[in-house]
Structure 1
Amino acid sequence: MRRKDFSIEEQQEIEEFLEEVSFGFLGIPSEDGWPRVVPLNFAYGNGVFYVHGSRVGEKMKLLQHDNRVSFSAAHEYALIPSYFTDADMACPASSFFKSVTVRGHAEIVTDLDEKAEALGIFMRKLQPEGGYDPITTDDPRYVPRLKGVALIKIVPQEWSAKFKFGQNARDEERQQLMTGLQQRGTPGDLVTLEMMEKYCPAHRSAQNPE
């Protein structure tokens, strides 16, 4: 999968991926013409990306000057060594991963209820086990903190995604990749095998003809 237009099912899959990963990279135009990339935690919900931080600083200053942004999140599932498929050449070395990139505009969120909802999304992602009082504007302990934190909403205008798990490999090569992952057998390799089965249905059918 590497496209800019997605079916409902594919969009849902992208959103599920964004719920799994918590770290991304925010690209902001800078005044000197050099792109500025900021690594940070993020949360996705309600069709937008949320990031937070201090109300003062370079990030906020740059966004006030130009609110056009890009944002990327990715997860590398497995490194693929060349010897899985070629005993001599280095060329086949690769990695299998999922990545999502959007371009859009950043908006500073001032509404306290939206801030509370967004930070609740953060907490459910970063601390799924709970152990805290829900963030609401009805709790007076949270209100000063909601007022003090800067919350940025990234509204996507263009999406692109790439899920790479050997979809374009020949059947023989794909089987070699799967054998190599099985033999290496790390937890990441086992998850990668599941992804290969999911994204290479033609190979699965070939392995299990009716």
Structure 2
Amino acid sequence: MLIHPWDAARDAAEWQQWLAVHDFGQLAVNGLPGEPPFVQPMHFAYAPSAGGEFGGVVAHLARPNPVWPALDANPGVLLSVVDDYAFVPGPWQALPGAPAEHGTPTSVYTAVQLRCTAHVVDDPEEKSALLNRQVGHFQPPGLSATVAVGEAPYGRMLSGIRGLRLEVTGVRAKFKYAGHKPEEVQDRIAAGLTERGGPGDAAALAGQRRRRQEA
């Protein structure tokens, strides 16, 4: 992923705060010899480490999932999350004084890629703790029972899943919102997103406004 200086995260807090509320991504795993990479869409829960920069991710997948042999062969993975995206028509990007039709179409978006070492969790007690952490991230208290080994309703399901703990070893974050363009162009993009109001436009507009305010 190419990251220009004007698209880069300003600090770790920026991508960590974004990732805290964007918790569905694609886990890319190296394929077995002769096979292409394996890509698994999944929900996950991310948390920064105490006093550290990268932190870690927890998730779980069904035991029959074909990802496990590939992880056994190579635990180096990439978790990719892309959101707050929108298409920007060329005229919105035309430079001041230039014909509208000379503008270059583009995309705006946020992308965070976590390079990780995967650790498979099979111990029932450890899986229970992992699941409780993940469910606690997504559901308000009181909406589901606690996961506990041998106890209803989830204890009997533990054998059907495997837990994943991803140790984050590197991060690449990109906030692509035309931050290097003249103010007039950025204003035009914002106005266009507001007027069009299509799927994703509000989130992309919020991302652009936040980056401009924090510049």
Contact 1:68 1:106 in 2 (8 A): yes
**Closer/same/farther in 2, CA of residues 21 and 112 from structure 1, 3 Å limit:** same
Encode CA deviations 1:54-111: one digit per residue, 9 max, x unaligned. 224421111111211111111033221222234314x622222111112221111134
Specify the alignment match of 1:21 in structure 2. Answer: 22
Give the TM-score, by structure 1 length: 0.78
Contact 1:107 1:153 in 2 (8 A): yes
Specify the alignment match of 2:52 in structure 1. Answer: none
User: Which aligned pairs between 1:62-101 and structure 2 lie closer than 5 A?
Assistant: 62-86=70-94, 87-89=100-102, 92-101=104-113
Q: 1:200 aligns to what SS in structure 2?
A: helix
| Structure 2, unaligned runs of 5 or more | 50-54, 95-99
Q: 1:135 aligns to what SS in structure 2?
A: coil
Q: 2:167 aligns to what SS in structure 1?
A: strand
Shift of 1:116: 2.5
Encode CA deviations 1:148-205: one digit per residue, 9 max, x unaligned. 31111121111110011221111221121122223224574344333222212488xx
Q: 2:101 aligns to what SS in structure 1?
A: coil
Contact 2:59 2:134 in 1 (8 A): no
Contact 1:22 1:126 in 2 (8 A): no
Contact 1:2 1:163 in 2 (8 A): no
Give the TM-score, by structure 2 length: 0.76
Specify which of 144, 149, 152 is matched with residue 161 of structure 2. 149
Contact 1:43 1:118 in 2 (8 A): no
Specify the alignment match of 2:37 in structure 1. Answer: 35
Specify the alignment match of 1:52 in structure 2. Answer: 60
Q: Distance in 2 between matches of 1:75 and 1:160?
A: 15
Q: 2:60 aligns to what SS in structure 1?
A: strand
Contact 1:76 1:95 in 2 (8 A): no
Shift of 1:52: 1.6
Specify which of 191, 195, 213 is matched with residue 179 of structure 1. 191
Q: Distance in 2 between matches of 1:54 and 1:190?
A: 35
Equivalenced residues, count = 199
| Structure 1, unaligned runs of 5 or more | 204-210
1:196 aligns with 2:208: yes
**Closer/same/farther in 2, CA of residues 133 and 177 from structure 1, 3 Å limit:** same
Percentage of identical aligned residues? 25
**Closer/same/farther in 2, CA of residues 34 and 122 from structure 1, 3 Å limit:** same
Contact 2:112 2:171 in 1 (8 A): yes
Specify the alignment match of 1:207 in structure 2. Answer: none
RMSD over equivalenced CA pairs, Å:
3.0
**Closer/same/farther in 2, CA of residues 101 and 202 from structure 1, 3 Å limit:** closer
